[in-house]
């Protein structure tokens, strides 16, 4: 018997039949004796329609009115799901963000949660009532509805789990868990039973788009145990079901490398022949930061004749803007030319165990060299080693590394 939060995304509640299926899954947990809160998204397609209407009326619409319109998607789902639950004999009631309330800041459209009043929810859950909660929304300081931005329902679910002191937050998705790498590239990728918050953050930010990054950060801060599992899987729930995202202390046998992630949305920029003097890097990255260009990996070549090259990576979508910003600042920075390459992929090996193991990077470089893959940029952190390679080597590199670290399924 435990208190759990279950979260279902838009695909899982896309029509009345799927809402009935979700209700039946919730009933299963109630019958196992659990106290249940459910967080749901809008029915798939609804939010897009509502957003399209707002944009058609005004490209620069008032974000407060946008939130008023868009929040109706989740409101519809919670009402319908509560009805579906009652119909199969499960006591339930719906909750909108303003009713709980889930208080947020005033950043309409991209609000951040400040607090959730959990006492009434807990009292009712203890009395056997399922709380069906609208994700993605809250109440701003001006008593108006706010939304958390796309994908915010994951974050809502984790925040609710913290507020009701749930033992676990189950995120139902269209995959059955977190894998050692993308199974479309490596068919022998293995589903992980447990992954540490820090690992999940690295895996999420570099390509495994299962959980919203903010939701993982929140789970880590609030120590909420998150489980990722499939909303379409049949059969009983077992300890093998899904993947648990937890504190690394809960992971007894820490893998040196847990997974291989990749991101194709990268571009490489090299600023050639700049003066090798103190403050030159600051001048480049200062102008980029001022224009909201996020820079990821950075390397600086050894200096020759007082001149050096600086190479860095950015999101590919930012490439034209980056070039323009740098050209504009050329008089103050002083450089010979800018070289850019949009055809690059970042590949990362991730694992909390690598903190205490040497040789992780060496294995990586050897494995890539064996396949004659040239490494363009390298960066490392405590639990990650990333390299930039030409995009055409993506699959080859991911497969080689997956084997090199012994991650292939038997």
Which residue, 33 or 59, is less far from a copy of itself as judged by CB? Answer: 59
Q: Say whether residue 69 binds a copy of itself (CB under 8 A).
A: yes
Q: Say whether residue 14 binds a copy of itself (CB under 8 A).
A: no
Nearest distance in Å: CB 83, a copy of itself = 5
Kindly tell me which residue out of 11, 14, 44, 72 binds a copy of itself, with binding defined by CB under 8 A.
Answer: 72
Kindly tell me which residue out of 3, 21, 51, 65 binds a copy of itself, with binding defined by CB under 8 A.
Answer: 65
Pairing assessment for the beta strands 137-139 and 145-147 based on DSSP bridges:
antiparallel
- Using CB under 8 A as the binding rule, the residues of this chain from 125 to 154 that contact a copy of itself are 143-145
Which residue, 17 or 249, is less far from a copy of itself as judged by CB? Answer: 17
Q: Say whether residue 37 binds a copy of itself (CB under 8 A).
A: no
Kindly tell me which residue out of 3, 11, 14, 93 binds a copy of itself, with binding defined by CB under 8 A.
Answer: 93
**Which of 121, 77, 67 lies closest to 99, judged by CA?**
121
- Alpha carbon distance 259, 202 (integer Å): 10
Q: Say whether residue 83 binds a copy of itself (CB under 8 A).
A: yes
Element (H, E) at 297: strand 295-300
Kindly tell me which residue out of 44, 51, 76, 281 binds a copy of itself, with binding defined by CB under 8 A.
Answer: 76
Cis peptide bond upstream of 101, omega within 30: yes
Phi, psi (deg, nearest 5) at residue 25: -65, -40
Q: Say whether residue 21 binds a copy of itself (CB under 8 A).
A: no
3-state secondary structure of 393: helix
- Using CB under 8 A as the binding rule, the residues of this chain from 98 to 127 that contact a copy of itself are 98-99
Q: Say whether residue 385 binds a copy of itself (CB under 8 A).
A: no
Q: Say whether residue 267 binds a copy of itself (CB under 8 A).
A: no
| Cβ-contact 327, 338 below 8 angstroms | yes
| Cβ-contact 184, 400 below 8 angstroms | no
Kindly tell me which residue out of 1, 31, 56, 279 binds a copy of itself, with binding defined by CB under 8 A.
Answer: 56
Nearest distance in Å: CB 5, a copy of itself = 20
Q: How many CB atoms lie within 10 A of CB 374?
A: 11
Kindly tell me which residue out of 3, 64, 188, 321 binds a copy of itself, with binding defined by CB under 8 A.
Answer: 64
Q: Say whether residue 51 binds a copy of itself (CB under 8 A).
A: no
| Cβ-contact 64, 31 below 8 angstroms | no
Which residue, 83 or 281, is less far from a copy of itself as judged by CB? Answer: 83
Which residue, 59 or 331, is less far from a copy of itself as judged by CB? Answer: 59
Site mask for a copy of itself (CB under 8 A), range 183-222, x = bound: ----------------------------------------
- Alpha carbon distance 351, 260 (integer Å): 9
- Alpha carbon distance 385, 364 (integer Å): 8
Which residue, 87 or 370, is less far from a copy of itself as judged by CB? Answer: 87
**Which tokens sit at 94?**
């719906």
Phi, psi (deg, nearest 5) at residue 264: -90, -10
Which residue, 56 or 372, is less far from a copy of itself as judged by CB? Answer: 56
- Alpha carbon distance 116, 138 (integer Å): 9
Q: Say whether residue 82 binds a copy of itself (CB under 8 A).
A: yes
Radius of gyration of the chain (CA): 24
DSSP calls for 56-120: HH-TT--HHHHHHHHTHHHHHHHHHHHHHHHHTT--EEEE-TTTTTEEE-S-TTS--EEEE--HH
Q: Say whether residue 30 binds a copy of itself (CB under 8 A).
A: no
Q: How many CB atoms lie within 10 A of CB 324?
A: 11
Q: Residues interacting with a copy of itself, by CB under 8 A?
A: 16, 19-20, 50, 53-54, 56-58, 61-62, 64-69, 71-72, 75-76, 78-80, 82-84, 86-87, 93-94, 96, 98-99, 143-145
């Amino acid at each position: 018997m435990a208190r759990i939060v279950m979260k279902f995304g838009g695909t899982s509640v896309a029509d009345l039949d799927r809402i009935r299926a979700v209700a039946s899954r919730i009933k299963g947990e109630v019958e196992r004796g659990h106290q249940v809160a459910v967080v749901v998204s809008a029915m798939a397609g609804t939010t897009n329609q509502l957003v399209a209407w707002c944009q058609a009326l005004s490209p620069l619409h008032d974000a407060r009115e946008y939130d008023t319109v868009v929040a109706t998607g989740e409101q519809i789902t919670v009402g319908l799901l509560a009805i579906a639950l009652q119909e199969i004999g499960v006591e339930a009631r719906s909750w909108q963000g303003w009713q709980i309330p889930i208080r947020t800041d005033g950043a309409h459209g991209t609000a951040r949660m400040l607090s959730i009043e959990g006492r009434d929810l807990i009292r009712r859950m203890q009395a056997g009532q399922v709380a069906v909660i609208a994700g993605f929304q809250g109440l701003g300081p001006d008593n108006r509805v706010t939304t958390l931005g796309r994908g915010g329902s994951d974050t809502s679910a984790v925040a609710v789990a913290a507020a009701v002191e749930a033992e676990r937050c189950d995120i139902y998705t269209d995959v059955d868990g977190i894998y050692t790498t993308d199974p479309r590239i490596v068919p022998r990728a293995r589903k992980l039973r447990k992954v540490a918050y820090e690992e999940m953050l690295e895996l999420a930010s570099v390509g495994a788009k299962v959980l919203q990054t903010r939701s993982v950060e929140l789970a880590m801060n609030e120590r909420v145990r998150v489980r990722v599992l499939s909303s379409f899987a049949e059969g009983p729930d077992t300890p093998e079901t899904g993947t648990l995202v937890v504190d690394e202390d809960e992971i007894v046998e820490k893998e040196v490398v847990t997974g291989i992630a990749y991101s194709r949305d990268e571009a490489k920029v090299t600023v050639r022949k700049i003066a090798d003097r103190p403050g030159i890097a600051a001048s480049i990255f200062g102008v980029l930061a001022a224009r909201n260009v996020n820079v990821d990996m950075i390397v600086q070549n050894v200096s020759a004749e007082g001149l050096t090259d600086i190479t860095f990576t950015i999101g590919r979508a930012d490439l034209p803007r980056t070039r323009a910003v740098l050209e504009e600042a050329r008089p103050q920075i002083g450089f010979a030319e800018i070289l850019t390459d949009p055809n690059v992929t970042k590949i990362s090996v991730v694992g909390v165990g690598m903190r205490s193991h040497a040789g992780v990077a060496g294995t990586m470089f050897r494995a890539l060299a064996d396949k004659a893959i040239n490494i363009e940029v390298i960066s490392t952190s405590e639990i990650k080693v990333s390299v930039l390679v030409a995009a055409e080597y993506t699959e080859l590199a991911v497969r080689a590394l997956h084997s090199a670290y012994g991650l292939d399924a038997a």
